Amino acid sequence: MAHSQGKRRRLVADIVRQGRLQTPPFRLRGGQQLIAALMTASALMLAAPGAALASNGPGKPGTTKAGGSAHKEKAKAKASAGNARATARTGATGRASSVREARESRGARGKKGVAEARTAVAATAATSATAAAAARTTRKPASAGAIQEASNAEARLIAVYELFGRGQTRPALAKARDLVRDYPNFQLAQLVYGDLLAAQVPPSNSLPDTASIAKMRGNPAMAELHEESKRRLQALRERPPANTVPSQFLALSTRSRYAIAVDASRSRLYLFENSDKGLKLTADYYISVGKSGTDKVTEGDARTPLGVYYITSSLDPKSLKDFYGAGALPINYPNPYDVRRGKTGGGIWLHGTPPQQFARAPLASDGCVVMANPDLKQLLRKVQIGATPVVTAHSLQWISQPQAEKEAQSITSAITSWKDARASGNEAQLKKFYLPDFQRISSKKTTEGISVVDDEVKFAQGKRVQFKDMSYLHWRDGDDTMVVTFGEVFEGEKSGRSRRQYWLRQGTEWKLFHEEILG
């Protein structure tokens, strides 16, 4: 027996609230009927489903009667709705207990917003999946590798999109069911699965509720989920070109086994493995940044900083609130270049999500970079304290390895000239490489001004020195800066020390404004 309009609406609401049903009280459909039904089931929340329908080319939606008596049908629907409500209650994001948690949790999607937004992803699932399927056949073959490991939750979600875009609706539904079973707190996956199930509800001949459509179009939670879906699919369609690296990575010592680059405009973190053959993209992950965007300037502005940083520590999750998930990796914001420009604030981490929440909205944190806990756990196994660089950019620019080597030539020349001037003992020549407000920080003391030149000449004492493990990280915004890390061993010595220098280009010359003696 077909559902009445009222029953159908209630059932759809329960389905999308939960995102899954163990025993749907209706017979499943397949093929083009499911695509049409998906649009019909979500019509109350969609503004223009016609484009998606046209691109998928559906047949005429038919009316399918549910098997069994009306009494059994009603009982099953009621039981399923009860289960949906119970799981929705227990799966809601808990309240943050600390001040910082409270601030960030305001950006997290609550259970009410997610429940109301669940039906809206049908538009994303149809239009974006079709676009993703088309992109698969049109994008250039020379591109980076797979998004992540095949078992990754996001890769599995995108597989659902691809299957749906190709009209393979039953496999899409099966994969979505398995995904939400394995990751019940993955809100976007639950939403997609809920809409796939909602599409099985027999369509109604009643006109859409335009008032509800207008209301849902303005719902913030719906907009956040739509943007999350859009950015995840963008990562599939717009892969980095093959054999390229972010323009900041001009050279990286093999002592840094991994490097991280964040593209805020794509909500993406890229992980590179480093070897004597260069950097290789091994994985990339969806991330969230500050609720006010990027380019942090002051404390409390809820922005993610832009620049070149390093991982400074790894915080044990046992010492953290559940809000931060599987752990946290602080970075050295503000770095010396930030301090030079008067930027304030701190406590910028790469961290996870609360247990009840798989991912955050693209713009959700107080400035931290937030990752799903399974993704963060992979990162925690690979980063090196003090040696893993983290580039955070509004939009990454990708260059070839030969181009990176070419752009490193000017700073390489400056470093060589600085080394030669120091070895010669020519203080006047050496002073030309330092800005008047130069600062050096070591474990023993902090030295300011160009009086450091005397220390350098005494330290070198005319000895020949070998530089090794050179790293050049380039940052360009209003100024042109270079973060140079290297080790030095003097002739006749078995060991040396490591330095991290910050250079600023003035005209055609590079000048030192900060240095850290690492050990």
What residues are annotated to the active site? Answer: 351, 368
What is the spatial distance between Cα 384 and Cα 404, in angstroms, rounded to a whole number? 23
What is the spatial distance between Cα 409 and Cα 405, in angstroms, rounded to a whole number? 7
Of 283, 388, 400, 414, nearest to 330 by C-alpha is 388
What is the spatial distance between Cα 159 and Cα 148, in angstroms, rounded to a whole number? 12
From the number of C-beta atoms within 10 Å of its C-beta (0-12, 13-18, 19+), residue 46 rates as: buried
What is the spatial distance between Cα 512 and Cα 450, in angstroms, rounded to a whole number? 10
Written as six digits, the tokens of 298 are: 């002051």
What is the spatial distance between Cα 190 and Cα 183, in angstroms, rounded to a whole number? 9
Of 263, 256, 387, nearest to 314 by C-alpha is 387
Of 71, 85, 64, nearest to 11 by C-alpha is 85
How far is residue 116 from each of residues 37, 90, 210, 293, 362, measured CA to CA in Å? 20, 17, 15, 25, 19
Contact status, residue 269 vs residue 369, Cβ threshold 8 Å:
yes
Of 301, 179, 309, 217, nearest to 256 by C-alpha is 309
- How long a stretch of residues is the chain? 519
Contacts of 314 (CB under 8 A, 6+ apart): 327, 328, 329, 380, 383, 385
Of 215, 218, 228, 174, nearest to 196 by C-alpha is 174
